Amino acid sequence: MAVVDSQKRILSGMRPTGKLHLGHYHGVLKNWLKLQHEYDCFFFVADWHALTTHYEDPYQIEQAVWDMVIDWLAAGINPGSATLFLQSRVPEHAELHLLLSMITPLGWLERVPTYKDQQEKLKEKDLATYGFLGYPLLQSADILVYRAGHVPVGADQVSHIEMTREVARRFNHIYGREPGFEEQAEAAIKKMGKKQAKLYRELRKRFLEQGDSEALETARALLSEQQNISIGDKERLFGYLEGGGKVILPEPQALLTPEAKMPGLDGQKMSKSYGNTIGLREDPDTVAEKIKTMQTDPQRVRRTDPGDPDKCPVWQLHQVYSDDDTRDWVQQGCRSAGIGCIECKKPLADAIIEEQRPIIERARRYEQDTGLVRGIVAEGCERARSAASDTLDEVMNAMGLIYDI
């Protein structure tokens, strides 16, 4: 079994809601692009999550799945560095969800803020279902089944990561204390050799008695480097370090996605529900048309009226797409009525189209060869399953579910 370095592992998922737009690109995807080089990344399509709210009309999910995977690939997510997969093809997520459900107090789920919020927001749907209540716990299983140390998410999802940490802690507390845990941990320390054992004990003491978190970090690094103790012993010592039992499911951290300052066509945040989006793979003519018909400063009625960029959504997009020179040109030209709005929008439309050109080009290859996309996802699912089933083995072992048959 492979040793998992949780601190290097990242997991994140997206619901298949259809084609992605530039808001997704400047927010989530650009962040993933960076992370894929720095961590061992698992990115998945959360199709079961889509069912928690769309159980009555699941038929569009399939198309949305493929559109989204092509969007990821076209944006530059590299299946050579990141594992791309489909949740419903890794049944271990469901298995862990079930096992975790045994120890998860109902109150924890009822208290997750998104539970009531979403029910309010999606009033037309009957969300008084078991699946909808349990959806944050499914998310916990998504994360914990890979023992991922970091989870890139938006601010709206942080409460789910918090709950995941509580579930992991509770699991480790209940199932991480085999009989004779302390004796086993002490025996494991001795196996590290005199010098290392002494260092471990000192660091542990500094953390447990003085809350010295630097000592905790150092001790963790020390454990990671150990070659001559078994994986089981290592996990015991990770847990013992913090005064608890064996760490079977490590607690993940939320890695907050930098807030995308991506305005939509009307100046509000770009979002499908506001109908103000530009698609990631929108064709150039449509982009040009959408920019051309954008609302500008309402005070600027005639070409000869000076305008105020601060009251204009076009300016907000210039701030994302234009260099300093172009921005100065907009500011001066607008305020002095030196330029007209059509003129002002031109470099903006050009910049967006330029940004999309390579993305659309890459997408074309995948659209024409759906076998290629399916192959990438199939391989990702296999890699994901292998990692997930390692965790399940440990979980079942800890829960006493290993039968000799």
| Residue whose entry in the numeric block shows the structure tokens 């009033």 | 123
- Kindly list the residues in this chain that would bind ligand SF4 in the complex (CB under 6 A): 296-297, 300, 307, 309, 312, 314-315, 330, 334, 339, 341, 344-345
Q: Which residues contact 126 (CB under 8 A, 6 or more apart)?
A: none
Q: Does 46 bind ligand TRP (CB under 6 A)?
A: yes
Virtual torsion, Cα 162, 166, 171, 174, nearest 10 deg: 170
- Partner from ligand SF4, ligand TRP, none contacting 48, C-beta within 5 to 8 A by type: none
Closest-CA residue to 75 (of 153, 22, 15, 17): 22
Q: Does 11 bind ligand TRP (CB under 6 A)?
A: yes
Q: Which residues contact 312 (CB under 8 A, 6 or more apart)?
A: 267, 295, 296, 297, 300, 334
Q: How far is the CB of 330 from ligand SF4 (least distance, A)?
A: 5
CA distance 96 to 167: 12
Query: Which stretch in 139-147, 169-177, 295-303, 397-405 sits in contact with ligand TRP by CB under 6 A?
Result: 139-147
Count the helix, strand and coil residues of the chain and give each as a percent rounded to the nearest 5: 65, 5, 30
| Residue whose entry in the numeric block shows the structure tokens 């913090």 | 242
Q: How far is the CB of 8 from ligand SF4 (least distance, A)?
A: 45
Query: Which stretch in 138-146, 226-234, 257-265, 330-338 sits in contact with ligand TRP by CB under 6 A?
Result: 138-146
Helix H or strand E segment including 44? strand 40-45
Q: Does 15 bind ligand TRP (CB under 6 A)?
A: yes
> Using the 8-state DSSP alphabet, how is residue 260 labeled?
P
Sheet holding 9-14, edge to edge: 82-86, 40-45, 9-14, 150-153, 253-256
Q: How far is the CB of 59 from ligand TRP (least distance, A)?
A: 20
CA distance 398 to 236: 12
Q: How far is the CB of 352 from ligand TRP (least distance, A)?
A: 25
Q: Which CB, 150 or 318, lies closer to ligand TRP?
A: 150
Both tokens assigned to 213 = 């978190």
Q: How far is the CB of 352 from ligand SF4 (least distance, A)?
A: 14
Candidates 45, 84, 153, 395: give the one binding ligand TRP (CB under 6 A).
153
- Partner from ligand TRP, ligand SF4, none contacting 356, C-beta within 5 to 8 A by type: none
- Partner from ligand SF4, ligand TRP, none contacting 388, C-beta within 5 to 8 A by type: none
Q: Which CB, 126 or 289, lies closer to ligand SF4?
A: 289
Q: Which CB, 72 or 315, lies closer to ligand SF4?
A: 315
- Residues lying near ligand TRP in the complex (CB under 6 A) are found at 11-15, 46, 49, 139, 142-143, 151, 153, 157
